[in-house]
A and B are shown apart, each in its own frame.
Chain A
Amino acid sequence: MKSLAELAEIRERMKDKIALREGNNEIRIVVGMATCGIAAGARPVLNAFVEGVNAQGLEDHVTVTQTGCIGICQYEPVVEVFQAGKDKVTYVKMTAEKAARVISEHIKGGKVVEEYTITYAKKA
């Protein structure tokens, strides 16, 4: 290495890989990963969220994590979004494609994707 620019380049490249350990908690996306969730396809959903958050460069503010059974197995895969000072949003029957839309519209844009939420699903 001969320059500061090269050092900065390594730093930028590595930062994403370390960010996980800093506990950035402005927004928490929690994927239900109990047996019911996994059986309904929660793993691709989880991966889609992790990849989407990183692809959009949101990893400084958003933590993607998992939890056990939430108790509404018929709606799995279930994803909950927590944000300080705001009501919890529960998305149901998620897919990788729906995850991409949630990231761009809700996580990034701040607008809840109503038709994926549990309130919408119950009404329908």
Chain B
Amino acid sequence: MIRAHVLCCGGTGCTSSGSPKIQETFTSEIQKQGLSDEIRVVQTGCFGLCALGPVVIVYPDGTFYSHVTVEDVPEIVEEHLLKGRVVERLVYNEVAAGTAQSDMGEAHASLNDTTFYKSQQRLALRNCGVINPENIDEYIAMDGYRALGKVLTEMTPDEVISTILDSGLRGRGGAGFPTGLKWKFASGNRGKVQKYVCCNADEGDPGAFMDRSVLEGDPHAVIEAMAIAGYAIGADQGYIYVRAEYPIAVKRLQIAIAQAKEYGLLGKDIFGTGFNFDLDIRLGAGAFVCGEETALMTSIEGKRGEPRPRPPFPAVKGLFGQPTILNNVETYANIPQIILNGAEWFSSIGTEKSKGTKVFALGGKIRHTGLVEVPMGTTLRHIIEEIGGGIPNGKKFKAAQTGGPSGGCIPAHLIDTPIDYESLQAIGSMMGSGGLIVMDEDNCMVDIARFFLEFTVDESCGKCTPCRVGTRRLLEILDKIISGNGEMEDLDRLEELANYIKSASLCGLGQTAPNPVLSTLRYFRDEYIAHIVDKRCPAGVCKKLISYKIDPEKCIGCGMCAKNCPADAIHKTSYVAPGHKLPSMEIDTAKCVKCGACMDSCKKIQAISKG
């Protein structure tokens, strides 16, 4: 009889830090101790605390081990699994601190007690890190495919659509269009015309990885939801468009689809109801624009991934010219639970106009890099300070960037903004797919705007002029400012051009590309002005505007800086400061590449400054 489960995270983050080998070692060590009949090793999807990976959780206690190495495994097996002693040194410290004697006995370092998990509400991620994504039976145990059974046997397609409409679910890919409405538009002429159900898994925003995690951790939820969508609009074929850069997600989807077909949950006559639905995967080649719905469908058709004007909307004329619905991975992941628990349950979560939860990929200057899912309306402060654990190294919060290259920055004074579609839009940002990049005082906002703009310039497909040429001109102006050649008129030029691009571009990529520039101009204009007027980068990031200097009075002449300088720009002078034995060093600013290596090497003496 199995008495404990060892869950090893098999998400992309933990896999790249060696979790497959750890899992193997667990299996062999458990065998060695003769515990194979008592303990099961399970590979799961992402737990969310990616910064602490590789992550291992032992149930039933829920003990949370972080940064596990292969060498740690024999100790965990012998101490914890055999002798029942938690290996404290590997337990994530916040959990360890919470380990206390309670009236339930030793409250063993449980994951669920951490602030990271306590204030989350996991709907889309509910099975991630809990079940083995490569085992359909575990999904079924968590009520999997029960929603599909329910719609096929108890509900009419119109009832399904009205349930989704009533739930208030909106697209999680960025724009926030009501999902039920999308389905309704595509629902006419059921059975008379060929229709398609598509899933947008072309997650491209820098810093966003929630769709990948859902596909890796709970692929069947997406498959089930797509079959439900197929029933609702009258489609018998679906396509998942996923980027080829997500090999683990693709592999788990393939396994999941094969298992669903074997069980008859995909294919002909599902549950004997006469409903047919088949699913195929299409791999994207990593073009950002293919996340735009019309470009995505053009790409599935085998053509070059370029957007086309709307209308006609996909619901009328989509894939192969037929009515099509396209939803994001996270949107689908919510569907089965809405069907099972009802529209009312779902709409009770969140705010008035934004229902349910949203998954955010926390990144940047934050302690708990990873995935979190919170009810809509949770404040940014709560996500960053409580769940995210705050900013490391005692730095100050400066801004958060949401929505990736299409979104904007939220400055520190708006940190109490509730996160929902409308509130974010009102302050010049957007929900986007849910990337949330945290920035501290060391980040230069002009540089951030430039970073995202460079991304969109690279990724612009080139079909329409405002986006192709306009974004490039924007970037050139930013480059001019960053290199110290900016003039005050450039700020007006930026704004004027940005608004032209927004209003005249063909698709969402161009229409939102100027957002990072506009929002940083709105909230951090003083930084732009510092670059232009004072020729100074306040955060000390823009290389052309900073210089390194050695204080000859402090320098002890050890020469560590010269040794570390890759450009050979540091030399000895003839000056020996009073009280010092060796002559001080000097930087040749003409040769300096401003890498900062000298400053890092002088941490003890602190004779080198940046300005």
**A contact residues vs B (CB 8 Å cutoff):** 1-4, 7, 10-11, 13-15, 17-18, 20-21, 23-25, 28, 30-35, 37-38, 46-47, 50-51, 54, 63-68, 80, 82, 84-85, 88
Contact = CB atoms under 8 A, between A and B. Distances in A.
B96 to A, nearest CB: 15
Contact of B112 (A3, A23, A64): A23
What are the 3 A-B residue pairs with the smallest beta carbon separation, nearest first? A66-B84, A14-B141, A33-B84
Contacts of A80: 105
Given A7-B146, A14-B140, A31-B84, A63 B60 contact: yes
B104 interface: yes
Contacts of B142: 18
Interface residues of B, number: 41
Nearest to A85: B103
A65 B4 CA distance: 8
B209 interface: no
Q: What secondary structure prevails in chain A residues at the interface with B?
A: mixed
A70 B200 CA distance: 54
Contacts of A4: 149, 153, 271
Interface string B109-135: 010100000000000000000110000
Interface in B139-169: 140-146, 149, 153
A28 B105 CA distance: 8
A30 B62 CA distance: 14
22 contacts: A1-B264, A1-B271, A7-B140, A11-B143, A11-B144, A18-B131, A20-B2, A20-B4, A20-B59, A28-B105, A30-B105, A30-B106, A33-B85, A38-B82, A38-B83, A47-B1, A54-B1, A65-B4, A68-B85, A80-B105, A84-B103, A88-B103
Nearest to A10: B140
Interface in B1-31: 1-5, 7
B38 interface: yes
Nearest to B106: A67
B131 A84 contact: no
B265 interface: yes
A35 B105 CA distance: 20
A20 B84 CA distance: 16
B302 interface: no
A102 B106 CA distance: 21
Contacts of A28: 104-105
B108 A65 contact: yes
Nearest to A25: B104
Contacts of B62: 23
Interface in B33-64: 38, 59-62
Nearest to A62: B60
A47 B272 CA distance: 43
B137 interface: yes
B83 A35 contact: yes
B280 interface: no
B60 A64 contact: yes
Contacts of B130: 18, 21
Interface string B67-101: 00000000000000011110000000000000000
A82 B61 CA distance: 14
A106 to B, nearest CB: 16
A50 B110 CA distance: 20
Contact of B60 (A11, A14, A23): A23
A34 B84 contact: yes
Nearest to A30: B105
A7 B144 CA distance: 9
B245 interface: no
A46 B83 CA distance: 11
B441 interface: no
B263 interface: yes
A54 B263 CA distance: 28
B461 to A, nearest CB: 43
Nearest to B112: A23
B301 interface: no
Contacts of B143: 11
B138 A18 contact: yes
A18 B144 CA distance: 13
